[in-house]
Chain A
Amino acid sequence: MINSDLQALVTTLEMAALTTLILLIIGTPLAWYLAKMTSRFKVIIEAVVALPLVLPPTVLGFYLLIAFSPEYLPGQLWQQTTGQQLAFSFSAIVIGSVLYSLPFVVQPLQKAFEQLGDSLLEAGALLGAGPIDRFFSIVLPLTKASFITAASLGFAHTVGEFGVILMIGGNIPGETRVLSIALFDHVEAFDYARAHLLAISLLIGSMVLLAAIYWLNLPKRNNNKNLNQVRSIK
């Protein structure tokens, strides 16, 4: 019986890790674009990114369920290209989590990019660094702390997700049953002992993970390096 909880743990970690990676890949350019954008449509895009914060998860989950079903266009396209049904698959919960956790990754990055200022990038360009080189040798080191925050928030939020996944995942063991849903199942089945066990391990695991990330992110560990970086370029 404990095996099914381990299986849920593995599914959860896979889902959260993959979601975080995808979010960093999509979220970084999006945050950069928003930070540098001057158009008056910026507020609209920002509002769209923040929507998952406002929408109740079950509502978002319901519309995603419709979108992912084979009866509607996104679900159809997916089925045509991959040959598999999107709704109730592992891919579906990853896509759902990406949408649901988007603001948690984009917003910290956008704030960091906004505060960065142009002078260092211009100096880098004058020294002959291309855009990609400038990103990796100037932007990334200076905003490392925000990247860690964004990744940890995205990861943590995805682990704790419930409503969206329950709706579009269908609670299928080994595929879409994640820890939060397994926990809910135990409570519903009056199996309070296992529910408590799962809850306490989830709590301790999350505490350790978050503490480790915040330790990595301590200002002392990063400040000196960042300052050196800035000075060496100046």
Chain B
Amino acid sequence: MLRILLVSILVMNLLAVNSSQAYQSNVNDSKNEDNSKPLRIAVASNFTPVLKVLLEDFTKQTGIKSQVISGASGAMFLQIKYGAPFDVFLSADSRRPKELEQAGYTLKSSRKTYATGQLAFYSSSLSSNANSLSQLSIEEILSIDQLRKPSARFAIANPDTAPYGKAAKEALTHLGLWQAYESRLVKGINIGQTFTKLRSKAVTRGIVANSQLVLNNLSGVIIPSSYHQAIEQQLVIIRRSKQQAAAEKLSHFLLSIESQNRIVSYGYAQTKQVNNANNANNANKKLSELTAK
């Protein structure tokens, strides 16, 4: 009998927990409909650290609070399709924003290139004598590396799925080294994982994003942007978002000349789009207009 009593107390506790849970989520929901809800930014993990720095200024300038959700572009792309409550999506590529745009998930003409990726060769064994490296071109460095350590593992992101991987393949092909390197490649699912392999020294050399090296105070050898197609990282504003005005402010903020310069200082390439100069100017004007309001 005592046991039955105990069990019934337990069950009652359960119900209490459940109902308080339900109550809590109701409270959360009413909060969510409020205008003070933060702007939810889904961002490709390679840009997250830079975005966080930039957001400090953005919040100071506009008073808009934001929540950063960092992840893989591919997963977030799917999540947006299936109703994720994101307001802005900063992808690591241009393909997924384009697809979202074509499928009607984004705000019209909100797709913009906010950063352009830059590749760099990194080797943990070479970085100690970086001075002698700077004398050599990337062609010479890679050729020497191939001659000296033809079997050492070499990390790049997966060329079939990751934009930085595709560009790395294009650069190696441009240098005529793809065939020599192909058999020694280790492919990360994205540039983040590729960098982790190098950082942990599981692999000693590879091609990663220059921004990753800058953020970690490492030095590598920049691979000229002319060796591959531009790695355009684009953003879109989600059509379902209830905070489109705030999202547009963020977009203008990121495209402003100041922000673009700061993005470049973190190891990204200058965004060279036909309409980019106009974009940045307009963005600056719009931002000052918007903040004046």
Contact = CB atoms under 8 A, between A and B. Distances in A.
Interface of A: 14, 17-18, 21, 25, 62, 65-66, 68-71, 75, 84-85, 87-91, 133, 136-137, 140, 166-167, 170-175, 185, 187-190
B28 A65 contact: no
Contact of B21 (A18, A69, A75, A188): A18
B63 to A, nearest CB: 20
Given A18-B18, A171-B70, 14 more contacts: A21-B14, A65-B82, A69-B83, A84-B29, A85-B85, A90-B21, A166-B75, A167-B78, A170-B84, A172-B67, A173-B69, A189-B45, A189-B70, A190-B49
A14 B20 CA distance: 12
A74 B75 CA distance: 21
Given A85-B83, A87-B84, A166-B75, A187 B69 contact: no
B4 interface: yes
Given A21-B17, A175-B28, A140 B84 contact: no
Contacts of B196: 187
Interface string B82-124: 1111100000000000000000000000000000000000000
B101 to A, nearest CB: 19
Contacts of B78: 62, 65, 167
Given A136-B4, A171-B71, A70 B45 contact: no
A209 B212 CA distance: 37
Contacts of B28: 174-175
Q: What is the size category of the interface that chain B forms with chain A?
A: 20 to 34
Interface in B204-257: 212, 215-216
Contacts, number: 79
A188 B70 contact: yes
A189 B86 CA distance: 20
A189 B45 CA distance: 7
A17 B14 CA distance: 10
B49 A166 contact: no
Nearest to A68: B82
Contacts of B146: none
A141 to B, nearest CB: 8
B25 interface: yes
B25 A89 contact: yes
B192 interface: yes
Interface centre among A65, A89, A170 (most CB of B within 10 A): A170
A170 B79 contact: yes
B48 interface: yes
A190 B85 contact: no
A65 B28 CA distance: 22
Interface centre among B28, B45, B79 (most CB of A within 10 A): B79
Contact of B49 (A174, A175, A189): A189
Contact of B83 (A62, A70, A133): A70
A14 B21 contact: yes
Given A171-B71, A173-B67, A88 B83 contact: yes
A140 B45 contact: no
B192 A172 contact: no
- Nearest first, the 6 closest Cβ-Cβ pairs linking A and B are A69-B82, A188-B45, A170-B84, A69-B83, A171-B69, A65-B82
A172 B48 contact: no
A68 B81 CA distance: 12
